Structure 1
Amino acid sequence: MVLSKTASESDVSVHSTFASRYVRTSFPRFKMPENSTPKEAAYQIINDELMLDGNPRLNLASFVTTWMEPECDKLMMASINKNYVDMDEYPVTTELQNRCVNMIAHMFNAPLGESETAVGVGTVGSSEAIMLAGLAFKRRWQNRRRAEGKPCDKPNIVTGANVQVCWEKFANYFEVELKEVKLSEGYYVMDPVKAVELVDENTICVAAILGSTLNGEFEDVKLLNDLLMEKNKQTGWDTPIHVDAASGGFIAPFLYPELEWDFRLPLVKSINVSGHKYGLVYAGIGWVIWRSKEDLPEELIFHINYLGADQPTFTLNFSKGSSQVIAQYYQLIRLGYEGYRNIMENCQENAMVLKEGLVKTGRFNIVSKDNGVPLVAFSLKDNSRHNEFEISDTLKRFGWIVPAYTMPANAQHITVLRVVIREDFSRTLAERLVLDIIKVINYLDALPSSFTAKVKTDDELEEKVKNGTVVKKTAIETQREITDVWKKFVMARKAKVIC
């Protein structure tokens, strides 16, 4: 959501050639117009501006679903005017969410009896789901500490430095200390051993990631569970685990059914997953599932009756559309285990096509793993003449949106490009992307180095004076300097908005 924007004087009006057949004057950009606008003109003005957006199918930065079947599109449009929170008015929609919660809970091997109902809720996305799960952990920890007569004013949560920004938001918004396990070169996920070492009596939970945003890798939740059980036994604590399966929750059950990461592990108390990622629904749907009713404190659930009946609710967001819930149910019954498995296998195969094509160029190191989220993260073997930010920027000329970014703490000098393979990314597109990357590399090879004036090549390392002694920069220092230069360059080009 855009919170602010700085406008120039030349940027105060909206102009449209096609709309001029309906209107005679330009529209104010940041103020509501005084008069009404013909519907054709309003449509054309907005449609023209939206043409400048990127093509969602070629946006390889996003994990979010960009294509659904026409039948599902129809269902979504037919329900777009339904407010999901009106449970009494739209009981069928409420029932469909309950079915989704139970299907996902069974998919995650929740310990449910034959007639037992799963505990979970639909959210706007995994960010809201994580906020809710974190609140439940914090409240359970506080209740336990109060019962023991101990202070409860300094809660903390243990994660890897590779967590998505929503975990930092949770820690900031709800006053929980975030204790991060730093990464290291070649190991870009949380180390379970180091994570357990950070756990203390104030730790409300350890958050494991099933599908790191950085390279798609699954963290070892089984090892984390075993180590944490041993520490709990030694200390008498009861530190639980939350699994952030935003990306991997709809992948692991189909590609790696034997992998133990979910409710089969006793310390896993809650799991979140994004329906709008590999759940194959358009943006706006996430899920959080709890192991049992005991893991969700009753005092966090609100009951309202002014919409027609007693309705329990545990969400940060109140009103929301019903379309995504209905679309999720469509996908679950439309595809079933067979359909999801086929799609995930196809995505994985297309990722391998892309990986093999990049390896054949001889120019890249592959940072991602074969097992995990179907994506390919890669970096240049030699970035002395041009780097990953230049490749990302130049690929936009071919329509591709491929992000370049630096790794988190203790691995900041590593820069990677990442391509997320979604259902609508075909083998043909994978092969085409490789060809376009080769074109970009050849184009950049023919240009003078962008860093000649700032950073010299490895063969001509810049000398610096330290304590009266001439010292040469190391290759890592040079690479870090290059990364810093390009980070400043890319940030300077971005629009001055807060999203």
Structure 2
Amino acid sequence: MTTLSQSAAEALYGNRFLTEKAPSTSFPQTGMRPTDAMRLLGEDLNLEGDPQRNLATFVTTWMEPEAQRIIAENLHRNFIDHAEYPISAEIEQRCVRMLADLFNAPGPTTGCRTQGSSEAIMLGALSLKWKWKERRQAANLPTDRPNLVFGGDVHVVWEKFCRYFDVEPRIVPLEENKYTIGPADVEPHIDENTIGVAAVLGTTFTGHMDDIVGINNLLLDIRNRRDLDVPLHVDGASGGFVWPFLYPDSPWDFRLEQVRSINVSGHKYGLVYPGIGWLVFREESDLAEDLVFYENYLGKLDATFTLNFSTGASMVLAQYYNFVRLGRDGYTYVMKQMQQNAQALASNLRDSGRFEVIGAGEEQLPLVAFRLSGEHTTYDESDIAWQLSAERGWMVPAYTLPPNAERVKIMRALVKETMSREQVERLTRDIADACATLEKKGGTTETERAQTKRGSGY
């Protein structure tokens, strides 16, 4: 009787990483069979969270099979190589023109795809700074003290921009029961060195929008009274693909005169996998020409306005797929479906008597921001989040709000395209069970939370 060698047995029945540790600290000396490499990765990834139960991330976690096929078949295309892949470049510009139309641009404009809204914000803010410099230099005025005004409800990328590109951040703090900003908050911070104001359409904290109409009117008034032309950039990372479909009559975009640029994330409510973002200008003149580079070493003269260079074309193509697949009617249907389920979850939480829903009845992203109502001395929102993760695998974040509202702790559940009404009801029951458990045993300890994270792979 012939006994198989260890390596032959592994090849026939399994793989060697069932008993060996995975390579992790040094570059492997030798390779392995493709099946072994695939299984090694698969076994690690089995410990990841379930995207269906991840209600923390805004990023898209599901696309149609046809879209996935387009992505898979075009992973090899380098988007920046317009000489080799001119159709991908043309499709990008189709998307930009469609977005300009969606955002009510008054005429021909320009824009570009980006790796996400973070890159789009960096580029948009850089253009604000360069256009401000142009105006100051034309008037023989100094350009060494630029500042940018925004609220504490922005994404951290705005503070990164200010630190990386030497701009003074003038941050309007939030307050308890006031989680967005308006014109009265902005006005004291504006002076001749203000390169622009950033307003948020759909904050990551509660899903609401800043008073963009009010801020626009303030900037028009300042332009007339003080001869200061301060542009407004709208950070529509989350809301740019929501408001046009849920609230089409609500003005926030290029219908407002001082809105000069808008960013939006295709990989959030644009319903595309990461990473894809977009930057659109009101007019071509709003893009500072000094930020555009011209190069021809890929075979033709190309103008580039990006922080990244080589990147895949597949997500651009996936975005175009969604635009032509869904159209206005399809996006409206998807957004309303998510909104209806979010409203159902909000109603369930409110009816339980345990929770206060924040900003119900206002224009909002399809999510539910909520907090415990009344006095709860034995457990808090973080305990509920931990209990949901430990018992049912739901990822529902709990966090404190930015200054000066840091005393407020809330939870936030994103209701996505893939979340059915039955899942809404199941989540409601699981939240009730988590609270019942915590009422009996009290809040969790840091040790318990750490052990659960290690055991669950979260």
Name the TM tier (shorter chain): over 0.9
Answer yes or no: is 1:379 the counterpart of 2:371: yes
Shift of 1:308: 0.8
Distance in 1 of aligned mates of 2:254 and 2:276: 22
Shift of 1:185: 0.9
Measured against aligned partners, the alpha-carbon deviations of 1:137-156 in whole angstroms (never above 9, x if no partner) come to 00011111111111111111
Q: Which amino acid aligns with 2:102?
A: M
Q: Which residue of 2 aligns with 1:393?
A: 386
Shift of 1:197: 2.0
Q: Which residue of 2 aligns with 1:94?
A: 89
Name stretches of at least 5 consecutive residues in structure 1 with no aligned partner.
Answer: 1-17, 452-485
Q: Which residue of 2 aligns with 1:430?
A: 424
Q: Which amino acid aligns with 2:79?
A: Y
Shift of 1:191: 2.6
2:379–2:442 contact (8 Å) kept in structure 1: no
* Structure 2 residue corresponding to 1:322, chosen from 310, 313, 318: 313
Number of equivalenced pairs? 440
Q: Which residue of 2 aligns with 1:474?
A: none
Distance in 1 of aligned mates of 2:37 and 2:135: 57
Shift of 1:383: 2.6
Distance in 2 of aligned mates of 1:184 and 1:162: 11
* Structure 2 residue corresponding to 1:447, chosen from 417, 441, 447: 441
Q: Which residue of 2 aligns with 1:481?
A: none
1:251–1:278 contact (8 Å) kept in structure 2: yes
Distance in 2 of aligned mates of 1:409 and 1:227: 24
Answer yes or no: is 1:48 the counterpart of 2:37: no
Measured against aligned partners, the alpha-carbon deviations of 1:212-237 in whole angstroms (never above 9, x if no partner) come to 11000011111111111111211111
Distance in 1 of aligned mates of 2:217 and 2:17: 69
Distance in 1 of aligned mates of 2:111 and 2:75: 23
Q: Which residue of 2 aligns with 1:225?
A: 216
Shift of 1:275: 0.5
From the superposition, tell whether residues 221 and 24 of structure 1 become closer, same or farther in structure 2 (CA, over 3 Å).
closer
Shift of 1:20: 3.6
**2:63 alignment partner, SS class:** coil
Q: Which amino acid aligns with 1:266?
A: E
Distance in 2 of aligned mates of 1:294 and 1:491: 53
Q: Which residue of 1 aligns with 2:120?
A: 129
**Between 123-132 and 374-383, the greater mean CA deviation after superposition:** 374-383
Q: Which residue of 1 aligns with 2:25?
A: 30
Q: Which residue of 1 aligns with 2:68?
A: 73
Q: Which amino acid aligns with 2:430?
A: D
Shift of 1:493: 9.1
Name stretches of at least 5 consecutive residues in structure 2 with no aligned partner.
Answer: 1-12
Distance in 2 of aligned mates of 1:490 and 1:413: 22
Distance in 2 of aligned mates of 1:182 and 1:276: 29
Measured against aligned partners, the alpha-carbon deviations of 1:104-136 in whole angstroms (never above 9, x if no partner) come to 000000011xxx4x3000000000000000000
* Structure 2 residue corresponding to 1:405, chosen from 399, 402, 415: 399
Q: Which amino acid aligns with 1:416?
A: I
Following TM superposition, the consecutive aligned residue runs of length 4 or more in structure 1 with deviations greater than 2 angstroms are 18-28, 448-451, 488-495
1:244–1:273 contact (8 Å) kept in structure 2: yes
What is the TM-score with the length of structure 1 in the denominator? Answer: 0.85
**2:169 alignment partner, SS class:** strand
From the superposition, tell whether residues 178 and 190 of structure 1 become closer, same or farther in structure 2 (CA, over 3 Å).
same
Q: Which amino acid aligns with 1:385?
A: T
**1:28 alignment partner, SS class:** coil
From the superposition, tell whether residues 450 and 126 of structure 1 become closer, same or farther in structure 2 (CA, over 3 Å).
closer
Q: Which residue of 2 aligns with 1:59?
A: 54
Q: Which residue of 2 aligns with 1:276?
A: 267
2:83–2:298 contact (8 Å) kept in structure 1: yes
Shift of 1:23: 8.6
Distance in 2 of aligned mates of 1:369 and 1:325: 35
Query: Residues 244-323 of structure 1: matches in 2 within 5 Å?
Result: 244-323=235-314
Query: Residues 106-121 of structure 1: matches in 2 within 5 Å?
Result: 106-112=101-107, 116=108, 118-121=109-112
Q: Which residue of 1 aligns with 2:350?
A: 359
Distance in 1 of aligned mates of 2:65 and 2:133: 48
Shift of 1:449: 5.1
**2:213 alignment partner, SS class:** helix
Distance in 2 of aligned mates of 1:431 and 1:450: 25
From the superposition, tell whether residues 427 and 24 of structure 1 become closer, same or farther in structure 2 (CA, over 3 Å).
closer
From the superposition, tell whether residues 85 and 19 of structure 1 become closer, same or farther in structure 2 (CA, over 3 Å).
farther
**1:446 alignment partner, SS class:** helix
Distance in 1 of aligned mates of 2:101 and 2:250: 15
Distance in 1 of aligned mates of 2:402 and 2:272: 30
Answer yes or no: is 1:162 the counterpart of 2:153: yes
From the superposition, tell whether residues 28 and 150 of structure 1 become closer, same or farther in structure 2 (CA, over 3 Å).
same
Q: Which amino acid aligns with 1:146?
A: Q
Q: Which amino acid aligns with 1:389?
A: S
Q: Which residue of 1 aligns with 2:410?
A: 416
2:131–2:288 contact (8 Å) kept in structure 1: yes
Q: Which residue of 2 aligns with 1:178?
A: 169
Shift of 1:450: 5.6
Q: Which amino acid aligns with 2:433?
A: K
Shift of 1:27: 3.9
RMSD of aligned Cα (Å): 2.0
